[in-house]
Amino acid sequence: MRLLHTSDWHLGRSFHRESLHDAQRAFLDHLVAVVEAERVDAVLVAGDVYDRALPGLDAVALFDDVLHRLAALGVPTVFISGNHDSARRLGVGAGLIGRAGIHLRTDPGECAAPVLLADEHGPVAVYGLPYLEPTLVRERFGLERGGHAAVLGAAMDQVRADLAARPADTRAVVLAHAFVTGGAPSDSERDIAVGGVASVPAAVFDGVHYAALGHLHGCQTLAPHLRYSGSPLAYSFSEARQRKTMWLVDLAADGTVAAERIDCPQPRPLACLRGRLDELLTGEEYAPHEQSWVQATLTDPVRPAEPMEQLRRRFPHTLQLLFEPEESPAVPSQSYAARVSGRADLEIAEGFLRHVRPGAEPDPDELDWLREGFETVRETGDRKAELPR
């Protein structure tokens, strides 16, 4: 059986305020084209369909469109809700939609109710485990305490129990949205540590032939049967070096897995540039990044004037600007009070200017303004002290 494994669409998300609507539409067009061209038997979407619990209308329209297109192809599709989704909203109409071959698994109570598929080699049971927030689902699984590992382990116990009651040649596929130990995170994933330790051991998924994982945005293989597809688009500059793909998975008659990565179209490459402003503006080595989305880290000892405006003349798609001066002063070991003890107010103010502008001394005009300001404050204080009480 040929499966297409994808996850973490985050429909409705932007990239540093740049709209990704057209890029997400292009990805969904690509997904449908792959399903047709590769003769995919079923599509697996492992959570975070939307970027937020209350998605915008444009995001909902994208989802609605791809549902209709997949249903028209007659290719069964299984979705689970992720930690970004509202499980109840995503699951509205699940029973009715399921008649069209689109299976929305958002209810923790249905973890052991598989979508049953079949090919010439026999049955395939696809179990959808939505994101399980420990504090919300412990009681449902009969647990008094425990975090992510406990609730996911309890859900998988139910899966294994159901599988044991099925014909011996049944192959098992699980969709789950979790942080599995050994996975490499990115900056764009929402922390799921609330409710206990975030990670779960890979052994939780023992007993199934393939686990289609979602949550981590980098495509990665933890074991031949245990894979993250990653997000189809980059959602942070920490993903600049990631290859964005889906997994095309062939599940053999004996349950062994062969998988191939299918590249996803990208709206624009990402580049993380670092150096002094003049180097970035003139260096030939940076020419290939002139049309990229750019994160620039400036190392100038003194913050340049209007750095973003200057960068955008060469790199018009600069989205993030960071400062890490090369000659930052050593962090003093004394407390602030100890460091300024016995120093005059003007001297302290001059030191503050040097601290916030490394390598730049206060100019004469700034010193005159400081003196004038301190004198005004002092005179005001003296006048108040002379008033009768």
Distance between CA atoms of residues 206 and 160, nearest Å: 9
CA atoms 301, 302, 303, 309: torsion sign: negative
Predicted pLDDT of residue 162: 97
Please indicate, yes or no, whether residues 248 and 292 belong to a single structural domain of this protein.
no
Q: Decide if 138 is inside a domain.
A: yes
- Domain shared by 108 and 245, yes or no: yes
Hey, which of 186-195, 206-215, 326-335 has the most confident mean pLDDT? 206-215
Mean pLDDT of the chain: 90
Residue 362: inside a domain = yes
- DSSP state, residue 146: -
- Identify whether residues 286 and 253 lie together within a single domain: no
Q: Is residue 330 a part of any domain in this protein?
A: no
Burial (CB < 10 A; 0-12, 13-18, 19+), residue 181, is middle
Domain count, the chain: 3
What residues form DSSP beta bridges with 262? 246
Closest CA to 323 of 301, 297, 302, 304: 297
- 328, part of any domain: no
Helix axes 57-73, 21-37, angle to 10 degrees: 10
**Domain range spanning residue 59?**
2-263
Q: What is the pLDDT of residue 343?
A: 72
Measure the CA–CA gap between 258 and 251, rounded to whole angstroms. 7
pLDDT tens-digit series, residues 222-256: 999 999 999 999 999 999 999 999 999 999 999 99
239: in domain: yes
Looking at the fold, whether 52 and 76 belong to one and the same domain comes out as yes
Residue 62 in domain: yes
Evaluated on CA atoms 157, 204, 119, 246, the torsion sign reads: positive
* Any domain includes 60: yes
Angle among Cα 90, 173, 200 to the nearest 5 degrees reads 75
177 and 290, same domain (yes or no) = no
pLDDT cut 70: percent of the chain above it:
89
Task: Check whether residue 287 and residue 254 sit in a common domain.
Answer: no
Return d(Cα 212, Cα 234) in angstroms, integer: 20
CATH number of the domain that 88 lies in? Answer: 3.60.21.10
**288-309 confidence digits (pLDDT tens):** 999 999 999 999 999 999 999 9
Residue 186 sits in the same domain as residue 304:
no
- In a shared domain, residues 227 and 372: no
**DSSP secondary structure of 319-352:** EEEEE--TTPPPPPSS-HHHHHTT--HHHHHHHH
- Return the axis-axis angle of helices 345-356 and 364-386, rounded to nearest 10°: 140
316 and 360: one domain? Answer: no
Residue where one domain finishes, among candidates 285, 301, 323: 323
Tokens read off for 236: 């942070």
Average confidence (pLDDT) over 130-149: 91
Does residue 32 sit in the same domain as residue 124?
yes
Q: Which residues pair with 177 in a beta bridge?
A: 214
Are residues 143 and 183 both part of a single domain?
A: yes
Flag whether 331 is in a domain.
no
- At 95, give phi and psi (nearest 5°): -60, -45
Structure-block tokens of residue 61? 């329209």
End-to-end CA distance of the chain: 91
Give per-residue pLDDT as tens, 87-96: 999 999 999 9
Q: How far apart are CA 264 and CA 258, in angstroms?
A: 19
Across the range 146-164, mean pLDDT stands at 95
User: pTM score, two decimals?
Assistant: 0.82
Residue 296 neighbours by CB distance under 10 Å:
24
d(CA 29, CA 77): 15
Residues 66 and 176 in one domain: yes
Dihedral Cα 111, 116, 119, 121, nearest 10 deg: 70
**DSSP alpha helix (H) spans, 252-335:** 277-282, 307-314
